[in-house]
A and B are shown apart, each in its own frame.
Chain A
Amino acid sequence: MNAILIAAIVLAAVGIVVGIGLVFIGTKFHVDVDPRETAVREVLPGNNCGACGYAGCDAVASAIVVGDAPASACPVGGAAVTDKINEIMGTHAEAAARRVASIRCNGTCEHTSTKNNYVGIRDCRAVALSALYPRDCDYGCLGLGSCAAACPHGAISIQDGIAVVDQEVCIGCGICVKECPKQLIELVPYGQKTVVRCSNKDKGKDVKMVCEVGCIGCRLCTKQCESGAITVTDNLAHIDYTLCEDCGKCAEKCPQKTISLL
């Protein structure tokens, strides 16, 4: 009984001494922090994931207050957290818009033809280097799924010979963009319906020979677009997503249905 009592008292005494010491040193070595930093830290998610590129929520909070990072620095918190930080900081930064991957090719098995039956390594990069290039179109999706294999969230699948992105699952990390040997993948705003689903830079006649839905560079879409978002370079239409209003008029007029609504 006595031994337990002594143990408890000694441990309590050590604890109290340590506690008093901490309080004393805490007040003595107190460093004044900007009250806004504490407030910003409060509204951040606080799971220290590091997705913002800083060491943790404390680090990004101080960077926001100093002005090194925008109020929208936290990609996890999204618009809700950005609004609160804007309120604290008196800024008007907008949350980064969500972007998703989009494949610039619609050359499914029924739309295009193949010249070889490729039986080598099941990897797009290997095929792209191979002499036995299977598709007639030199620009299109190879459909072996290097992007799907690289996608950390399983958002890409191979359907009917081409890669298809599930916009709901895609987080826009851009890993697949680097992976595609044909540079077919671009990041588009989430919800964007009007996209050019072709990358063929050949002249219209050559495109028509290899694909039913390839861009022939006819420029009908540029005439339809009221906001001037579409340009045609190298016989291929490009949409500037900062200008595009996603009205879909170009898709209606496109004779090849290259520009199609997803």
Chain B
Amino acid sequence: MSTLIMIIVGCALINNVVLNQFLGICSFVGVSKQMKASASLGVAVIFVLTVASAVASLLYDYVLKPFDLDYMKTIVFILVIAALVQIVEMFLKKTSPGLYKALGIYLPLITTNCAVLGVALTNVKNEYNFIESVFAGLGTAIGYTIAIVLLAGIRARIDESAIPRPLRGAPVVLLAAALMSIAFMGFGGLS
């Protein structure tokens, strides 16, 4: 049990996927303009990442490993994640149109989020079993959500302050993200 908690804390804070491993930067900067959209994307990522880590872990343990196809994992994971997002989208459209509407365009966007593939590959590298993989996926997604919601909050403040003209727009957002990244290095002391 304590291992699983350590995995969640480790993935969410110490090795934060955005601020420490620099994965999923594009949606991190692109979508964080509005708090609501950021939170929606965070929920969608939590959902997809957890399911994707489970499926990728099963596939690796029961298909790739027996055939000694370790080197094929990247391409297989890409295939499976893309299909998975499609399935999740169709499933939500039928069963929960409200949630489908709320997630909107962000659900299909996750297909191209490198954080999803990154987690599947990291799980393999760390030799996690099925349960550990699921928790690692969940922890990473929580870390992503924390990071993007925090940045959205900071950007809301940035919008209201007087920023020097050359720094307006993307530059000040990247600076804010860099400072967040430095702040998150503090969690390194936990490990």
Contact = CB atoms under 8 A, between A and B. Distances in A.
B72 A7 contact: yes
B93 A29 contact: yes
Interface in B139-180: none
A7 B105 contact: no
A237 B121 CA distance: 72
Contacts of B105: 55-56
A14 B86 CA distance: 16
Nearest to B105: A55
A253 B61 CA distance: 89
Contact of B79 (A3, A18, A25): A18
B87 A22 contact: yes
Contacts of B83: 18-19, 21-22
Interface in A85-130: none
Which interface class (under 10, 10 to 19, 20 to 34, 35 or more) fits B? 20 to 34
Interface string A44-86: 0000000000011001000000000000000000000000000
B75 A22 contact: no
Contact of B94 (A7, A18, A21, A31): A31
A173 interface: no
A6 B64 CA distance: 10
Contacts of B59: 14
A135 B105 CA distance: 53
A36 B95 CA distance: 23
A131 B56 CA distance: 71
Contacts of B72: 7, 10-11
Contacts of A30: 94
A11 B67 contact: no
A31 B75 CA distance: 31
A140 B59 CA distance: 73
A35 interface: no
A59 B106 CA distance: 13
A3 B71 CA distance: 11
B165 to A, nearest CB: 11
A53 B64 CA distance: 46
Interface in A15-46: 15, 18-19, 21-22, 25-26, 29-31
A22 B89 CA distance: 11
Contacts of A59: 104
Given A14-B76, A56-B105, A31 B93 contact: yes
A201 to B, nearest CB: 34
Contacts of A10: 63-64, 67, 69, 72
Contacts of A3: 68
A19 B55 CA distance: 15
B94 A29 contact: yes
A7 B86 CA distance: 25
Given A55-B105, A56-B105, A11 B91 contact: no
A11 B91 CA distance: 25
B35 interface: no
Interface in A137-194: none
B80 interface: yes
A78 B59 CA distance: 50
B90 A29 contact: yes
Nearest to B100: A31
A14 B105 CA distance: 27
Interface string B29-61: 000000000000000000000000000000100
Nearest to B37: A55
A25 B80 contact: no
A6 B94 contact: no
A101 B19 CA distance: 45
Contact of A15 (B64, B79, B90, B91): B79
List of 7 A-B pairs having minimum Cβ-Cβ separation, nearest first: A29-B94, A18-B83, A29-B90, A31-B93, A25-B87, A10-B67, A55-B105
12 contacts: A6-B68, A10-B63, A11-B75, A11-B79, A14-B59, A14-B76, A15-B79, A18-B80, A21-B83, A26-B90, A29-B95, A30-B94
Interface of A: 3, 6-7, 10-11, 14-15, 18-19, 21-22, 25-26, 29-31, 55-56, 59
